[in-house]
Amino acid sequence: MGAKGQAPGDPGFWGTAANFAVISYAGVTNTGPSVIEGNVALSPTPSITGFPPGVVNGTIHYNDAEAVQARIDATAAYNTLAGLTPTANLTGVNLGTQTLTAGVYHFDSSAALDGILTLNTLSDANAIFVFQIGSTLTAGIGSQVVVTGAGAGIDANVFWQVGSSTTLMTNAEFFGNIISLASDTLNTGANVENGRVIALNGAVTLDSNEINPSQVPEPSTWAMLFGGMGVGGFWTRMRCRSRRNRQGGL
């Protein structure tokens, strides 16, 4: 199981890794006005460059006790995700053509996302999506992960367990927690909403990105959402607000 024996979606699943937006084994390198909304753990290589112009709205932990434990707990989470029983094997399927409901989706080797991947929670607040990827994950230029229905979009119960490295190409709009055994590379304008970026044995490379592990709606947005407004409109507003916040920090 994850940290403290918890399953994905349980409050204790991440352990102390829950307190971090980025965890990196071999440091973080940034170009441009990236924004990390949360803490950064650097262990064992205490190297981070490109801040500024990038911004960390949190604390950077340089191989201290917190950073070491966060990587240990993130590794436990990775192992839990890798050990889950798959719902379906999607080896060879491009995720950009799929609409999926909650489940564990396995790829024997690499996975690609070119287009729009729709994750439908079916209005289940406890919906969990896990992607087990044997080697690399590549999200193509302008690709998107879109969540419909209530639940996972708020609770961030979307997990990408990657056996090698993850690459998000230019302007990819990604969603969920990325845990790569090696490295993570975000190209120009690629963003991660409601998720963390974790490189267990490699580096994190950024270029004008936003990483936000928890985008909680404002009270007025909650009222509109549960007052009957469309879920699709809710998530459009969330993305627009995210971009406005990012631009305001440039």
Contacts of 246 (CB under 8 A, 6+ apart): 35, 191, 210
Distance, in Å, from the CA atom of 210 to the CA atom of 229, rounded to the nearest integer, reads 27
- Distances from the Cα of 48 to the Cα of 21, 29, 43, 70, 203, angstroms: 14, 6, 11, 17, 10
pLDDT of amino acid 149: 83
| Range in 11-15, 146-150, 167-171, 228-232 with the lowest mean pLDDT | 228-232
Cis status, amide bond into 8, omega within 30 of 0: no
Q: Are 82 and 160 in contact (CB under 8 A)?
A: no
Q: Are 150 and 169 in contact (CB under 8 A)?
A: no
Q: What is the pLDDT of residues 206-229, one digit of tens each?
A: 999 999 998 544 333 333 333 433
